[in-house]
Amino acid sequence: MTTDPRDAAPQFVLPLVVRIERAAPPARTDALETAARAVLHLRSDERATALDGEWTEAVRGWEDARIRKVVRRARGAEWQRAEALPGINVTGKAAEVRVFPPVPLDGWPKDLARLQVSGTELEDPEQPAAPETGTPVLWLNPGVRMSAGKAMAQAGHGAQLGWLALSPAERALWRDAGFPLAVRTAEEAAWDALTASGLPVVRDAGFTEIAPGSCTVVADHPALRR
């Protein structure tokens, strides 16, 4: 049995919190896209990229091990307590997601640890429109069912793998444009071609919900097709 060296390293997790108020929950696709952009904003933030950045060491340790993300939900006072912790707020059409620097797997801040992680279910009130030409797309596997929270984490994984595959100049262009992207479910007939295209593919580690090794997202950035 081969041991993955990533498992021997200290394990970190990237916390994301989605705001879900009872009276006005966000649409599912909006939440997925906002979570993906939140990961990109954190990954490109100077606090995470500068040699002496306050988050740089944690981000490096997180990426050297299993790149785990966990999405929790909050509302009202819970959301206010989450906003008081160091992190970045990212908004979509209506969705709000706060992303935090990586924390040890067993070292969550108490105001995040108490938030619910399971049962985050969101719906799209109508079918999302086709992405505009030239927009980076995170394609979801049409054959894998995921809760909204799990899908948000997977979209974040896809965005991160796409970011890592780009050149520094391409990353800068994407960042300066505000990280435009779309999250869509791929057509079943197109999925096999997408996973074989050479584009970054998320293969889930199988910690929650789905089988280990499942391909969940393909990161389709125009720059990666050139």
Residue 223's pLDDT is 97
| Two structure tokens written together for 52 | 């002496």
Phi/psi for 18 (5° steps) reads -100, 135
pLDDT in tens, 8-66: 667 899 999 999 999 999 999 999 999 999 999 999 999 999 999 999 999 999 998 77
In 47-193 the beta strands, taken as DSSP E runs, fall at 68-74, 88-91, 96-99, 103-104, 137-140, 182-185
**Predicted pLDDT at 119:** 65
36-60 as b/e: b if 16+ CB within 10 A = bbbbbbbbebebbeeeebebbebbe
Percent of the chain with pLDDT over 90: 81
pLDDT at 7 over 70: no
**Rounded distance between C-alpha atoms, residue 98 and residue 82, angstroms:** 8
pLDDT value at position 8?
65
User: How many Å from the N-terminal Cα to the C-terminal Cα in the chain?
Assistant: 38
